[in-house]
Homo-oligomer: A and B are copies of this chain.
């Protein structure tokens, strides 16, 4: 399982074609063909069907491994390189998940950084949850903000792409968003277990994923929290509008939901049990001790102080 072969394998699978992958990688079709043949010989199994080019079951399984594997490889390389050329250019790129990017702390911290480092090129990049840790580990981001729903005592479950430092930035209570005229809208609070039979908005990128609710909801078993409509976007306001229109329930951080719910015709009911919080965490490349210099260090210092 030579990483080079793996790289061309994923390229072929992505492009659905040997020749396209070859172009993308700067190889000849022949080389790509040889790579795939070598992989298949190594694992003693066909990984792709030709004509049309598509992964076999074994190939699909290998693909699941390939992504994280290549990511970790890149992260290792980037991490050591970063340790060597310690003082980097005066630029700061921060990645953030949609909800985390709305954090007031981030805006304040960025202002502080720009004041302290006027020459620094500061950029904020909005990314899906999975890509923020990857970006920080591979050095494409200097820092990341991720949010997630967990019990108050537990750390955010992040895909481990290598040694990264995390610092909690803040926790917010959660709320269920329902249409204004919904029978539950007037309740003072709701328990997740009572909502297992409702129809939900499935929005893994914009809100708390249904699987998470199912795991936390207790009652309802594996059949609870059925999705009614799937929203694949990342904008929580769109999601809230969908909830207001009656397409299903959703769970969002209470302060955010309360801020925009009323004009959209939605009601916001605090989630009282089980006790879950929406936490935002700062992700930094795990640097040596005392590496609090430059824009990234300043950002960390400001955010942590808040």
Contact = CB atoms under 8 A, between A and B. Distances in A.
A154 B150 contact: yes
A68 B61 contact: no
A76 B65 contact: yes
B77 A1 contact: yes
Nearest to A66: B76
Interface string A283-294: 000001000000
A288 B64 CA distance: 13
Interface hub of A45, A79, A153 (most chain B Cβ within 10 A)? A153
A62 interface: yes
Interface in A34-76: 43-45, 57-58, 61-62, 64-66, 68-69, 72-73, 75-76
A80 B43 contact: yes
A168 to B, nearest CB: 9
Contacts of A80: 43, 45, 58, 61-62, 65
A130 interface: no
A216 interface: yes
What are the 4 closest A-B residue pairs judged by CB atoms, nearest first?
A151-B151, A65-B76, A153-B216, A45-B84
Contacts of A68: 72, 160, 162
Interface residues of A, number: 43
A233 interface: no
A240 interface: no
Contacts of A75: 65
A77 B1 CA distance: 7
A153 B277 CA distance: 11
A300 interface: no
Contact of A151 (B3, B69, B154): B154
Interface of A: 1-3, 43-45, 57-58, 61-62, 64-66, 68-69, 72-73, 75-77, 79-81, 83-84, 150-155, 157, 159-160, 162-163, 215-216, 218, 274-276, 288
A95 B3 CA distance: 30
A203 to B, nearest CB: 20
8 contacts: A43-B81, A44-B84, A45-B83, A62-B76, A65-B76, A65-B162, A153-B216, A155-B215
A44 B81 CA distance: 8
Contacts of A81: 43-45
Contacts of A216: 153-154
Given A151-B150, A154-B154, A275-B275, A61 B43 contact: no
- Of the listed residues A2, A64, A65, the one surrounded by the most CB atoms of chain B closer than 10 A to its CB is A65
A153 B155 contact: no
B160 A159 contact: yes
A87 to B, nearest CB: 15
A3 B62 CA distance: 17
Contacts of A162: 64-65, 68
Nearest to A56: B83
